[in-house]
Every structure is written in structure tokens, then in C-alpha cells.
Chains A and B, each alone.
Chain A
Amino acid sequence: MKVLVAVKRVIDYNVKIRVKADHSDVDLTNVKMAMNPFCEIAVEEAVRLKEKGVATEVVAVTVGPKAAQEQLRTALALGADRAIHIETDERAESLAVAKLLAKVVDEEQPGMVILGKQAIDTDNNQTGQMLAALTNLPQGTFASEVAVDGDKVHVTREIDGGLQTVALTLPAIVTTDLRLNEPRYAKLPDIMKAKKKPMDVKTPADLGVEVASKVSLLKVESPAERKGGIKVASVDELIDKLKNEAKVL
């Protein structure tokens, strides 16, 4: 079967972000960008499915500005066969991305779509579920194990309090949690080869999807700073402070 994997270009997770002085958004000028960590796990899982002979082709897709092609090239270097770039400079919310991906699912007819569980910029955790709803497919979210068995897939999910395994009929949508796998690094020869792999570029208009959303971002602020604390010298002093100063014991 064909596996479609969605990736997102986000701020590198090691970067300490800064809010713009006018509070309009986070400042992303000259900031290091990378593939969202949960998407790396999604690409890795798709490539492993191909290595096991379960997947026949891995197609990477992204929605974003022209620069997002870097992340598609990374996915190609990691083992994806071809890529689809849906180019837009607009701020695409989860619902718009899910609608765009649904069109791609319609065209490509994959047996499975793998996405990260959330992007570390907007922290929404919505796109995979929305895509499942729009394509009328079952969903296995927050997956820590994916096992394809004939026309079904068993997905072990990380839920509050433990693990839950569900059986889904294929095609299905899967979103990755951290412990699903450990993504590999791209090797230099593969990075070179990835430059020659095919990449289709489309626009939201080509797919007939409106990107604009009814949610507007009014303001972005830094969270309240915690005031600096003190270092205590001993366990006795710690207990004393907690009892008499903080009054939490």
C-alpha cells in the first residue's frame, strides 16, 4: 500500500522563542527552522513500513511557504519516494491543512496516512483527527506502536493512565507519539539523491480549498515570569521555608 506522510516546517525545538515587541506574534525572523519532531517520527514509521514490505511507496506532503521544501527534501533523504508541496504564504490553521490533505488523500488513495500528534509551534493536536473526519476514515492517535495485519491496523495509543490498543480498518489515519520510534539521521549520499527525487508543487486554489479561517490571532504575550527564587543550604531550611514562608506543608 501507499503511505502518505504529512510534515511541517516549524521553529527548531531548541530555540528559545521571542515574542515580537508589538505583540502581534512570535518573532520568526532569522530563527532556525526544522521539521517538527513528531513529523520526523511519522516519516521514520512510514520508511520502516516500507522496509518491512508493508508499504510500497512513501509520499511526503507539506503545506507552507516555499522554504518548507527544505523539510520535504529532508523527508526524501530519510526515505520518502516523492513529495507534494502545497504552497501558501498564508497562516494555514489545522482545519485548512486538513482540508488540503483530504484533497491529496482523494487523489493519491493511500492505505495509511501518518502525521505527528501535534506541531510544537501551535501545539494544537488537531490536524490528524480533522483529516480522519473529513475523509471519513478511522483514526489511531498518539500511537506508540503500529502493526498492520491484513486489511486492519492495530494501533497502541498513549492515553491518560496507560496504553490502549484499537483495531482500525484500512485505510486509516495514524498520528505519532514520541515513543513510536527513534528517527534516523539523513546520510550525506541520501541527501544528494533526495535532490533528484520528484516534487509536485500545487496551490490551495488548485485543490479548491480556502485557507482563510474564522479564528483571528489578537495578541501574543510572554507568559508571566516567575520571580527568582532562593537557594537554601539544608533540608532543615527547606522544610522551614515550605512550612513558614510558602505555607504549603
Chain B
Amino acid sequence: MSILVLADLHEGQLAGATAHVVAAAKAIGGDIDVLVAGEGVQAAAEAAAKLDGVSKVRVADNAVYAHQLAEPMGALLVELADGYTHVLASASTTGKNVLPRLAALKDVSQLSDVLAVDSADTFKRPIYAGNAIATVKSDDALKVITVRTTGFDAVGDGGSATIEAIDTVVDNAQSSFFKQELAESDRPELGGAKVVISGGRGMGNGENFKLLDGIADKLGAAIGASRAAVDAGFVPNDMQVGQTGKIVAPELYIAVGISGAIQHLAGMKDSKVIVAINKDDEAPIFQVADYGLVGDLFEILPELEGKL
């Protein structure tokens, strides 16, 4: 078996998700190569070479791969896929954008959001917003898989893979990058944070999300939000935790003013410990919460911040 892992990049640097995808690749077993494709990605390639279990890092450094647009990335992966039995990427927006293109061009199915490896051809994945877990077997010659990063513990550093440049350059006249607006944050990335505190519609407005800041600082937590809070315009959508936002599985998840709709639970119910703070003691969130506190969040949050 030989596995190609598409590295996740964040502003040119190697993103934490890659270490989780390599862990999934190790669970399948075989030689693991990592593809780092982008523009100015030498540092990311060196970081990838240190990941445990990686035997080779292949680097495609060219302007055509900048921002990892789907069209050139798909064309590059098709060129490289021969010789591999599996191609893996994280179920990030990049992985989801690029991998189905590869699968279709290779005339194979894709397995999305895989959260466990049963064997080299059999995997578990969530369906119906995580309300059911399907075990699926692929008889395709090439398995194209996106990995749910919270399903696999990240591999550590300590590897020393060889780095090899790829000079494959593809044409792309169909799409171009126009602009990007990234939300700025000093806090840990939502997907990788050990503690997440999220606010919902109960926060009342965007200004009140500041009540979460002090607690997040004390706990080293990332701040998330429910879809209701995002739709109400309280916070930007990249903070959204849920089926249609980010899937998180931190050690501690604190849901504040969140009722606990199915779509939200799909994004956080694999957290180790869930705390719910809500004034409605009938809210569905209390059915999944390990510790529930019924009360007014505007009184509870300042008290909690003071006592931590």
C-alpha cells in the first residue's frame, strides 16, 4: 500500500490538520508520502518532513498552485495519483474542494469525512448529520478519502522524511484568485483547540460575545458560535460549529445560550466533556451536556470568569 496525503496549508504554513491525516494514513498502513502544493511552501514542506511516519515529502512550488485552487490542484493530483492506492486529505474546505475532482477524473468514488479506519478498504463515516455511522467498503482501485481530523490523534514530530521537488506544472485558464478576507484571531484555531467556548442566539448580540473573551483567555480556549448566532449576524461564519460549519472535538466544550439543535450537535457532540449554560432547563443541549447550569448567562459568565 502506498498513500499520498495532501497537506493542508494556512497562509503558506503547514496547518495542524495534516498531522491528523497522517495518523489516519498510518492506521491504513503502508508508505506515506505528503504532497505540499502551493507557492512559497518550502517551510511547510520542511515541517511536513518532520511528521512521524512520513517517508517522502513531494513539493510542487509554483504560482499556479497558489491558494490551492481546485482546477490546477485536481490536475496535479491526477498526474501524481498513479502508483498510490490511497489519496487522503483533511475534510477542510480545501480537501472538500479538491479531492472529489480527483476522484471523478479517476472514475472512482470518494469517501468523505472518514472518522475511523477498519481496514485498508473499509471505513466508518458519519451520515445524517452524525446521527448515524455508516461502515463502507470501497472496491475501487484508488481510494480517495477526506479525513475527519477529530477522529484521529495527531502524529508527533521526530520524523525525517526526504524532500523531493516536483516540476509538474499544469495550465489553468479557467479560474483565478481574486481576493481573500481572513478573520483575524490571536486565539487557538477552532478545529485544534483543547477548549472551546461557544455562544448562541442567547448571547443577544455581537457585542455580548466579549463576555466570552476573558474566559477564553483564562482557559486558552477558541471561541465558536452556533449557526443561529452566525445567521443573526453576531459573529462571522468561520466561527460556526455544526454540520455546516466546523466539526470540533475538544477536551472541554462550553455551550452558552445554545439550545442544541441537531445541526449544532453534529459539530460538537464528540467533545470529551460538554458544559451547557442556558436559562431554559428544557433546552435539548442539556441531554448531551455532562454538566448543565440553568441560569442567566449575563450573571453566570462574569462570575465564571472571576472564579477561574
- Cβ-defined contact, B108 with A214, below 8 A: yes
- Cβ-defined contact, A246 with B291, below 8 A: yes
- Cβ-defined contact, A215 with B140, below 8 A: yes
Interface SS of chain B: mixed
Chain B residues with Cβ below 8 Å from A241 are 291
- Cβ-defined contact, B180 with A94, below 8 A: no
Chain A residues with Cβ below 8 Å from B71 are 138-139
- Cβ-defined contact, B140 with A162, below 8 A: no
Interface band, chain B: 35 or more
A26-B128, A214-B109, A239-B308 known; A98-B104 Cβ under 8 A: yes
Q: Is B67 an interface residue (CB 8 A)?
A: yes
- Cβ-defined contact, B132 with A19, below 8 A: yes
Binds A, one of B20-28, B79-87, B206-214, B267-275: B267-275
- Cβ-defined contact, B113 with A239, below 8 A: no
Q: How many A residues, CB 8 Å from partner?
A: 76
A17-B128, A223-B126, A230-B291 known; A217-B272 Cβ under 8 A: no
- Cβ-defined contact, B128 with A121, below 8 A: yes
A19-B132, A132-B101 known; A214-B139 Cβ under 8 A: yes
- How far in angstroms is the closest Cβ of chain B from A211? 12
Chain B residues with Cβ below 8 Å from A130 are 100-101, 103-104, 110
- Cβ-defined contact, B252 with A94, below 8 A: no
- Cβ-defined contact, B127 with A26, below 8 A: yes
- How far in angstroms is the closest Cβ of chain B from A238? 5
Chain A residues with Cβ below 8 Å from B174 are 137-138, 168-169, 172
- Cβ-defined contact, A217 with B126, below 8 A: no
- Cβ-defined contact, A123 with B129, below 8 A: yes
Chain B residues with Cβ below 8 Å from A165 are 178-180
- Cβ-defined contact, A141 with B96, below 8 A: yes
In the complex, what residue of chain A is closest to B302 when comparing beta carbons? A235
A219-B135, A220-B132 known; A161-B281 Cβ under 8 A: no
Binds B, one of A48-56, A63-71, A152-160, A194-202: A152-160
- Interface contacts (Cβ under 8 Å), in number, total 245
Q: Is B150 an interface residue (CB 8 A)?
A: no
A177 to B238, CA, bound (A): 12
Q: Is B160 an interface residue (CB 8 A)?
A: no
A177 to B227, CA, bound (A): 12
- Cβ-defined contact, A238 with B304, below 8 A: yes
Chain A residues with Cβ below 8 Å from B274 are 226, 229
- Cβ-defined contact, B109 with A125, below 8 A: no
In the complex, chain A residues 193-249 whose Cβ is within 8 Å of any chain B Cβ: 213-223, 226, 228-232, 234-236, 238-239, 241-242, 246, 248-249
In the complex, what residue of chain B is closest to A134 when comparing beta carbons? B104
Q: Is A126 an interface residue (CB 8 A)?
A: yes
- How far in angstroms is the closest Cβ of chain A from B123? 10
A229 to B286, CA, bound (A): 8
- Cβ-defined contact, B131 with A122, below 8 A: no
- Cβ-defined contact, A95 with B112, below 8 A: no
A11 to B104, CA, bound (A): 26
Chain B residues with Cβ below 8 Å from A167 are 175-178
Q: Is B105 an interface residue (CB 8 A)?
A: yes
- How far in angstroms is the closest Cβ of chain A from B153? 17
- How far in angstroms is the closest Cβ of chain B from A134? 5
A133-B104, A214-B138, A222-B133 known; A123-B113 Cβ under 8 A: yes
Binds A, one of B35-43, B47-55, B197-205, B292-300: B292-300
Selected contact of A162 from candidates B127, B236, B308, CB within 8 Å: B236
Chain B residues with Cβ below 8 Å from A19 are 132
A19-B132, A94-B109, A216-B136 known; A226-B269 Cβ under 8 A: yes
A141-B96, A165-B179, A166-B175 known; A218-B137 Cβ under 8 A: yes
Chain B residues near A (Cβ < 8 Å): 10, 67, 69-71, 74, 92-94, 96-105, 107-113, 122, 126-140, 173-183, 191, 195, 219, 227, 230-231, 236-238, 243-244, 246, 251-252, 262-263, 269, 272-275, 281, 286-294, 300, 303-304, 307-308
Task: Please name 18 pairs of A and B residues whose Cβ atoms are closer than 8 Å in the assembled complex, sorted by A.
Answer: A93-B109, A120-B243, A122-B127, A126-B110, A133-B101, A133-B102, A134-B105, A163-B181, A165-B178, A166-B176, A166-B177, A179-B230, A214-B138, A217-B136, A228-B287, A239-B307, A249-B219, A249-B308
Additional 15 contacts, C-beta under 8 A, given A138-B174, A215-B136, A230-B291: A26-B128, A120-B129, A158-B237, A160-B10, A162-B238, A164-B67, A166-B178, A179-B237, A214-B108, A215-B140, A231-B291, A231-B292, A231-B294, A242-B291, A249-B308
Chain A residues near B (Cβ < 8 Å): 11, 13, 16-17, 19, 26, 93-95, 98, 120-134, 137-139, 141-142, 144, 154, 157-169, 172, 177-179, 213-223, 226, 228-232, 234-236, 238-239, 241-242, 246, 248-249
